[in-house]
Amino acid sequence: MPSRPVRAPRHRGDPRLPAEDRLADLHAHTCFSDGLFTPEQLVERARWLNLAAVAVTDHDTVAGLERALVAGRRHGIEVVPGVEMSCGADGVDVHILGYYLDFADRDLLAFFDKLFAAREQRARTMVEKLRAHGVAVDWPDVARAAGGAAVGRPHVAQALVEVRAVPSLEEAFRRWIGYDSPAYVPKYRLSPEEAVGFIKEHRGVAVVAHPGIYRRESAHLLTIAAGVDGIEAWHPDHTPDDTDRMIELARKNRLLLTGGSDCHGGRKKGKVYLGEVTVPYKYLAALKRLGRRRRN
């Protein structure tokens, strides 16, 4: 038996093509938030797929970027530094991607430290609620699941599976920590204006993430009004119709288009993997041009 697949899966790119003719995945998570891959593993995976580029966009943290950039240089993969910021618009969770931020800036790091602490406080409150409902889970169980990452509900879900309170991550969300479940606690949320302002102040490019999935139609319109530079039109949770609508919206508002797999390395339901949603390199080139303009 050959140790490698004889025929590459169709979405594996051709390494003989120059980067401009290959694909970029502009949305992926690492173990610094709720992804399972280390930054190095993510980049190695991108290399195996012959992607031209991969963006690292962890939830509310830039802590994995340096390692990803180093790995990218080693493997000849362009790593796009990014972050995915949690916001609230019209009472629903909205995510805004920030690319090319000046991520070594001290004020920026202090700001993300605050968000990190707020996430921990929120997870502790969820643990208290769970305990009040008779679930025997402790903060150290969640901390262990997070392993030093910016903690989120996926880590709480994992802890619930590990202490055998539920059989699966899906069940943890359904029974306990999903939006309408008894131990759900809303996150500290920035307004879209705050997040977009923060990204632009730090010379980054702001893009509304997976606008097709927001539970209220007004939510992505509010982020567009808040001044995002682009719209993520291609995402695994988008229907073809969502993508069509977003392309049209971007055209009308003269916004950039992006797309990506939102790979969590198998932690998220549906197990979408790196490179399953990509965009041609020219979309990244446009993003990069705007990023450069902001920095000059």
Cβ distance 38 to 50 under 8 Å?
no
Least distance in Å: CB of 16 to Zn ion?
A: 31
Can residue 187 be called a binding residue for ligand AMP (CB under 6 A)?
yes
> Which of the stretches 15-23, 162-170, 190-198, 260-268 binds Zn ion when contact is defined by CB under 5 A?
260-268
Give, as ranges, the residues between 52 and 71 that touch ligand AMP (CB under 6 A): 59
Q: What is the Cα–Cα distance from 209 to 253, expressed in whole angstroms?
A: 16
Can residue 154 be called a binding residue for ligand AMP (CB under 6 A)?
yes
Using alpha carbons, select from 85, 40, 228 the residue that is nearest to residue 54: 40
DSSP codes, 272-294: --TTSS-EEHHHHHHHHHHHHHH
Cβ distance 279 to 234 under 8 Å?
yes
Give, as ranges, the residues between 171 and 210 that touch Fe ion (CB under 5 A): 209
Q: Which of 22, 45, 67, 95 binds Fe ion (CB under 5 A)?
A: 95
Cβ distance 51 to 275 under 8 Å?
yes
Least distance in Å: CB of 150 to ligand AMP?
A: 9
Using alpha carbons, select from 139, 143, 120 the residue that is nearest to residue 130: 139
Q: Which residues of 36-47 are buried (b: 16+ CB within 10 A; e: fewer)?
A: bbbbbbbbbbbb
On the CB side of 290, CA atoms within 13 Å amount to 21
Nearer to Zn ion, 19 or 267 (CB): 267
Q: Which of 34, 58, 229, 232 binds ligand AMP (CB under 6 A)?
A: 34
Which structure tokens are listed for 73?
Answer: 């240089």
Least distance in Å: CB of 268 to ligand AMP?
A: 5
Nearer to Fe ion, 53 or 209 (CB): 209
- Ranked by CB distance to ligand AMP, the top (closest) residue is 152
Q: What is the Cα–Cα distance from 106 to 115, expressed in whole angstroms?
A: 14
> Which of the stretches 127-135, 155-163, 225-233, 261-269 binds Zn ion when contact is defined by CB under 5 A?
261-269
- Ranked by CB distance to Fe ion, the top (closest) residue is 95
Can residue 262 be called a binding residue for Zn ion (CB under 5 A)?
yes
Q: Which of 25, 34, 60, 229 binds Fe ion (CB under 5 A)?
A: 34
Which residues are CB-neighbours of 158 under 8 A, at least 6 positions away? 145, 169, 172, 267
Least distance in Å: CB of 100 to ligand AMP?
A: 22
The entry of Zn ion, ligand AMP, Fe ion, none near residue 169 (CB within 5 to 8 angstroms by kind) is ligand AMP
Packing angle of the helix pair 106-132, 153-162 (nearest 10 deg): 40
Can residue 229 be called a binding residue for Fe ion (CB under 5 A)?
no
- List residues binding Fe ion (CB under 5 A): 34, 95, 209
Residues forming the site for ligand AMP (CB under 6 A): 34, 59, 86, 152-154, 169-170, 173, 178, 187, 264, 268-269
Contact residues for Zn ion, defined by CB under 5 A: 84, 262
